Chain A
């Protein structure tokens, strides 16, 4: 970030490519809508570029990045809640699941089983309650610890820990049922 703030555009591209997919998955799996995730993705990274000079190297870049993504997403959810039903937001999760299970490379049985399991897990993540889902995604996609997640989501440490525990318990339960 420091290099980009000093005018080195290539440094930004490096950062973008390193974190692109994680931020996008965080947005897309929380919102269950690829178009909205794209829209927010653009806004998040525009904000990163614009505020590069304000970034403090003492804070982890991923914490800063995901806090921007979280704030944009919450704004977007609030806005969309007023304008569309949640049903329309959820249409794509089934499509993602369908794509996962219908991967053209599905020849070996083991790979097919793995894909089914993966699809089931993605679906289960998307079915988690919003706060649990977000905490879980911040942990696995942002690689953030409980304290960082609590700070970003504006929750207490204990609440965040509980959300993560519930989320993981549900996902494990789902996987057990699946197996």
Chain B
């Protein structure tokens, strides 16, 4: 019975006149021929990511070792403590040589510094032995407060200038992917998110919509080596000869990124 069913199915398929389009066959065979003609990619290029990843991990580990003691040192003053010294706070905490900087690992904590608050020292001893120190502390305290105030005002200024810079950047940068479907398209193409790319292409988005630098989704995909994105974009009619503000085309981007398969695909699609 199984064979009967399969046989009937095969007969039905043979009678079914629907066929794949000739254009698809032509495109596929041309694409395959172009790839076969492209020089094989050297194996060395494929293996480059390994040292890159290990190098990055090693650097991250080293950075972690350097930062760890600062994070877990219970005596380390926090940045906020440095910038918001309360007015009533005892004024005699000596300013370390680098005020505001967290101590290095192994350095004595600030609270255990040999210089004590002025009112904690016996008056006589303060007068006889520590007069210069006390004076310097008294003088230093306002300077520290001033420094704090200056630091705070500098921080405010930096924040203001940062906000201004952010506004300036926002004015020249393209809209976020959430707000702009063409930005989302470019991002999906660049990251090789095929499912998202297809979803966006299903909408009325301009497939060649450029970003602020004139780069299209195809260019970004080509430069990132996203061969699958390139295939999908070309299949949907992306312009293989679009030019960005630096005069770069998708083909130039693929050549620069050493992507022979993408180069072949673009050339097949008419890229010059």
Contacts and interface: CB of A to CB of B under 8 A. Distances in A.
Interface of A: 4, 7-9, 12-13, 16, 20-21, 24-25, 28, 34, 37-39, 41-43, 45-47, 49-50, 52-53, 75-76, 78-80, 82-84, 96, 99-100, 103, 114-115, 117-119, 121-122, 125, 140, 168, 171-172, 175
A100 B15 contact: yes
A54 to B, nearest CB: 11
B115 interface: no
Contacts of A34: 18, 21
Nearest to B30: A9
A172 B15 contact: no
B196 to A, nearest CB: 9
Contact of B199 (A12, A82, A100): A82
Nearest to B23: A38
A175 B15 contact: no
Interface of B: 1-2, 5-6, 8-13, 15-21, 23-25, 27-29, 31-33, 35-37, 40, 194-195, 198-199, 202-203, 227-228, 231-232, 235, 261, 265
Contacts of A43: 231-232, 235
A20 B12 CA distance: 17
The 3 A-B pairs at the shortest CB distance, nearest first, are namely A118-B12, A9-B36, A49-B32
Given A79-B198, A172-B1, A122 B37 contact: no
Of B6, B36, B195, the most chain A CB neighbours within 10 A belong to B36
Contact of B31 (A8, A46, A83, A171): A46
Contacts of A25: 13, 16
A16 B28 contact: yes
A119 B16 CA distance: 8
A75 B195 CA distance: 6
A61 to B, nearest CB: 15
Nearest to B15: A118
Given A114-B15, A118-B12, A122-B12, A38 B20 contact: yes
Nearest to A7: B36
Contacts of A4: 32, 36
Contacts of A45: 28, 31-32
Contact of B231 (A50, A76, A118): A50
A8 B33 CA distance: 8
A15 B27 CA distance: 15
